[in-house]
Amino acid sequence: MLLGGLAYKITQYATTPAPLKIPTTPAPTTRGGVVLRFLREIVLFETLFKANKWIWLFGWVFHFALLLVLLRHLRYFIQPVWGWVAFIQPYGYYAGFAMVAGLLGLWARRFLVPRMRYISAPSDHLMLALLVAIGVSGLAMSFIGRTDIVAVKAFFLGLMYFDWQPLPADPVLLIHLGLVLILMVIFPFSKLLHAPGMFFSPSRYQVDNPRERRHLAPWAAKLETDAEGGGR
């Protein structure tokens, strides 16, 4: 579902033409410049920083904590565990708190700032609730009642090699995994599409060179050939 849906949306984005050059200027005049623009955007959330420091703080903390947490989870899917995955374990462990804190900050804004309240739909709240619940259930397994993590790993490794192993019947674990499944299912239908979408945003990925290179979309080119019979 996740991969199929994402592949569908990415193909759709990639094949929809952009008939006009619309980079938001000042924009890079070379491909390399565009790559740098994206790097700054992905690593630093540069634009968000320029726009609003609070959203930047909560958003950046959430996304990077999430990245650490996800990388930490690799250990449940690989055997033997790679060195750097072992190294980040303690950081990923506590990043869970930062992730939930970032999410709660973003959520609080949706209640406290009238402008944010105005633009929030139920789905915006539910998405945050889902992510918070995933984070909290995950933290609960690490810091409150510990799950039989060795058995969990055996289950996932078994899943990957088609060798079915029992999953521990810990309710917190089942909630955690169930919520992650839900997240993966709704990913291609929801605003989580912002992750692949940002790479297909013409105002950001286009190179500022319209005078140097003629840009023509297929459907726009067709207007020209159609008109040729009658002359310009």
Partner 1 sequence: MTEEQDMAETEAAERVLTAGDFFESDLPDPEEIPPLACGAMADSKPFVAAPEHQEALGFPGELVDNWHDKAIDKMGELVGKYQSLRVYLDSCVKCGACTDKCHYFLGTGDPNNMPVARQDLLRKVYRRHFTWSGKYLPWLVGAQDLTEDVLDEWYSYFHQCSQCRRCSVYCPYGIDTAEVSMAAREIMATVGKGQKYSNEIIGKVHTLGNNLGMQKKALEATLEDLMEDIEDETGVEIDVPVDKKGAEVLLVTPSADFFAEPHIDGLIGYAKVFHQAGISWTLSSYASEAANFGVFVGSYENMREVALRIRKAAEDLGVKRIVFGECGHAWRVAYSFLNTLAGPFDFLDQNYPVPQHICEVTHDLIERGVLKFDKSANDHIRLTFHDSCNVARASRMGDRPGGQFEIPREIIKACCNHFYEMSPETTRENTFCCGGGGGLLTDDLIELRKKGAQPRMRALQQVADDHGVTHMAAICAICKSQFSKVMPEYGFEMDAIVSVHQLVSNAIILDDAQSAEPEESEDKPSAEEPDESGEEAEE
232 binds partner 1 (CB under 8 A): yes
Told to check if 29 binds partner 1 by CB under 8 A, we report yes
Closer residue to partner 1, CB minimum distance, 22 or 74: 22
Under the criterion CB under 8 A, does residue 215 sit at the interface with partner 1?
yes
> Is the Cβ–Cβ distance between 157 and 77 less than 8 Å?
yes
Structure tokens at 43: 């690593």
Out of 2, 6, 9, 142, point to the residue binding partner 1 (CB under 8 A): 9
Cα–Cα separations (whole angstroms), residue 29 to 19, 25, 68, 205, 211:
19, 10, 34, 11, 11
Alpha helix segments (H runs only) across the chain = 2-15, 31-44, 46-51, 53-73, 83-112, 114-119, 122-143, 149-160, 171-186, 194-197, 202-205, 218-228
Question: CB of 101: closest distance to partner 1 in angstroms?
Answer: 17
Residue 116 binds partner 1 (CB under 8 A): yes
Residues 178-197 contacting partner 1, CB under 8 A? 186, 189-191, 193-194, 197
Q: Which is nearer to partner 1, 124 or 148 (CB)?
A: 124
Site residues for partner 1, window 88-107 (CB under 8 A)?
A: none
Q: How far apart are CA 21 and CA 104, in angstroms?
A: 39
Interacting stretch for partner 1, rule CB under 8 A, among 69-77, 157-165, 176-184, 217-225?
217-225
Cβ-contact 71, 88 below 8 angstroms: yes
Phi and psi torsions of 114, nearest 5°: -55, -40
Interacting residues with partner 1 (CB under 8 A): 9, 12-13, 16-22, 24-29, 33, 41, 45, 47-48, 50-52, 55, 59, 109, 113-116, 118-124, 126, 186, 189-191, 193-194, 197-198, 200-204, 208, 210-211, 213-217, 219-220, 223, 232
